[in-house]
Amino acid sequence: MPVIATISAALTSLKAATDIAKFLRESDLSLEKAELKLKLADLISALADTKMQFTEIQEELIKKEKKIVELEEAFEIKDTLIRRGDAYYVTDVEGNPVGVPYCIRCWENDHKKRQLVYDHTNIIVKICTTCGIKYEGRLAIDIQPANE
């Protein structure tokens, strides 16, 4: 549920609980016990609904905060990866690709650096252990740094 809708529902429940509490405060002592118990049950129900909705809001905000952190981290390393062949690589000081290959799909879709490993069923294929995409091994090789 979108956060705005959940916040609206929570505020509606909170308003209902407040209205019930005002009614109980302003009512005279002539309320029957049954009517009083009914109003208190309504109040407790409205407050429980509000608590659940605010919990949902808190969970949604935590998810969004995690996503923001992930995107910030991806943004920070964005310029350190370049594509060569069927993989992404970190760059050396001169901007050349070096090291182990990273999955194109995971980087471009999820902004996660996931190393490619040799497929145990076919040694000329590399595979991403996260998404399962297979790459031709000769286009996703480990690149050693240039010796100076």
Give 39's contacts (C-beta < 8 A, 6+ positions apart). 20, 23, 24, 31
Owner of token pair 């992930």? 70
pLDDT band, very low/low/confident/very high, at 117 (cuts 50, 70, 90): very high
Whether 91 contacts 81, CB under 8 Å: yes
Mean pLDDT taken over the chain = 83
**Residue 121: what are its φ and ψ, rounded to 5°?**
-95, -15
pLDDT at 140 (0 to 100): 84
What is the pLDDT averaged over residues 105-123? 88
pTM score: 0.54
Please, which residues bridge with residue 143 across strands? 99
Domain ranges within the chain, ordered by starting residue: 3-77, 85-139
What is the distance between the alpha carbons of residues 138 and 12, in angstroms, rounded to a whole number? 61
Residue with token string 């016990």: 33
